[in-house]
């Protein structure tokens, strides 16, 4: 029997680090803590070592093709495959509206990276393996208000090209100053992050179709509002609490759960319900902040 392997991207801190911690305690195999920055990654490993947990480490910048290739070659040579892949690396870009370059970067890290991983790392995922894309409440379709894109993204035979068109449409509108705030929920706030995460959750559905042949499950999820650097420490849950559902999804959930969008409490939601109240609201953060003061 080959050694089982689990990989978590962006896991030097926050939810990713807590997922690695939880997997080290329960997963019957090797767990990879990966980080774009070697010193931050190694420091995180040392922290876990002090707790009696021993993940392996490898550098991995999910936006850097060369870095992903190096990681692929390392895994190929050492273990020849991956059983669990958690695509957790992400950035939100803060609550203020972003300029074109910032929007591009947010989309690059949260969404374009998944296309590089799909090409280079998914082929290493073994038959019957599990992949989890960490999305957000910003990734539910109800974040989109533009009728044309709701229709396109709701199509049951949506293709990756349609999702790329959606992302391009948004970026182009920011570039030429025609972005209409009404096209995105909550007055167009954190628009780039919403577009990136909606694209990620939509891509999960497309990727599941492809991975069905090898009985690999791929789902996307919202981890909750979590106290990490991303939220400047604001949130209802600690990173360890937020890691519970991702760990459940890759270790315990029925293998029949495929191409789904899952809430932080483990509930499977209808991603297509564009009228639902699942979209992110800035007021949730502001209310929470006020209560803390």
**Among 276, 103, 283, 274, CA closest to 179:** 103
Main-chain phi, psi angles of 93, to 5 degrees: 85, 5
Q: Calculate the alpha carbon distances from 160 to 7, 199, 232, 288 in Å.
A: 24, 9, 33, 37
Task: Count interface residues toward ligand NAP (CB under 6 A).
Answer: 31
Q: Does 93 bind ligand NAP (CB under 6 A)?
A: no
**Among 281, 258, 216, CA closest to 83:** 216
Question: Which one among 8, 31, 36, 125 touches ligand NAP, defined by CB under 6 A?
Answer: 36
Query: In angstroms, what is the minimal distance from the CB of 16 to ligand NAP?
Result: 5
Q: Active site residue: 32, 193, 237, 274, which one?
A: 193
Among the listed ranges 14-22, 122-130, 148-156, 172-180, the one in contact with ligand NAP (CB under 6 A) is 14-22
272 is catalytic: no
Query: In angstroms, what is the minimal distance from the CB of 126 to ligand NAP?
Result: 23
Question: Which one among 25, 26, 40, 159 touches ligand NAP, defined by CB under 6 A?
Answer: 40
**Among 127, 124, 107, CA closest to 68:** 124
Question: Which one among 24, 55, 106, 136 touches ligand NAP, defined by CB under 6 A?
Answer: 136
Among the listed ranges 36-44, 45-53, 140-148, 179-187, the one in contact with ligand NAP (CB under 6 A) is 36-44
d(CA 89, CA 87): 6
Phi-psi domain of 73 (left: phi exceeds 0; alpha: psi -120 through 50; beta: other): alpha
Residues forming beta bridges with residue 86, ordered by sequence position:
8, 132
Active site residues: 193
Residues that bind ligand NAP (CB under 6 A): 9-10, 12-16, 36-37, 40, 60-63, 88-92, 109, 134, 136, 222-223, 225-226, 228-231, 235
């Amino acid at each position: 029997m080959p050694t089982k392997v689990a990989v978590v991207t962006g896991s030097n801190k926050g939810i990713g680090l807590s997922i690695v911690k939880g997997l080290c305690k329960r997963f019957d195999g090797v767990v990879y803590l990966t980080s774009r920055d070697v010193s931050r990654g190694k420091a995180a490993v040392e922290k876990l070592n002090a707790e009696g947990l021993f993940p392996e480490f490898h550098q991995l910048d999910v936006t850097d093709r060369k870095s992903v290739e190096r990681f692929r070659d390392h895994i190929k040579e050492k273990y020849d495959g991956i059983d669990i892949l958690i695509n957790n690396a992400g950035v939100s870009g803060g609550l203020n509206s972003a300029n074109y370059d910032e929007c591009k970067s947010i989309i690059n890290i949260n969404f374009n990276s998944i296309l590089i991983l799909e090409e280079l790392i998914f082929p290493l995922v073994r038959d019957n393996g599990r992949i989890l894309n960490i999305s957000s409440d910003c990734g539910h379709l109800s974040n989109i208000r533009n009728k044309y894109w709701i229709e396109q993204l709701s199509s049951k035979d949506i293709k990756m090209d349609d999702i790329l068109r959606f992302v391009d449409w948004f970026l182009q509108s920011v570039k030429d100053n025609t972005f209409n705030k009404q096209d995105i929920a909550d007055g167009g706030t954190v628009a780039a992050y919403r577009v990136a995460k909606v694209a990620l959750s939509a891509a999960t559905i497309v990727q599941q179709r492809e991975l069905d042949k090898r009985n690999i499950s791929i789902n996307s999820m919202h981890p909750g509002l979590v106290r990490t650097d991303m939220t400047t420490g604001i949130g209802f849950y600690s990173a360890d609490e937020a890691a519970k559902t991702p760990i459940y999804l890759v270790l315990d959930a029925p293998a029949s759960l495929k191409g789904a969008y899952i809430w932080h409490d483990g509930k499977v939601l209808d991603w297509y319900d564009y009228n639902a109240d699942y979209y992110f609201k800035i007021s949730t953060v502001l209310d929470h902040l006020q209560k803390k003061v």
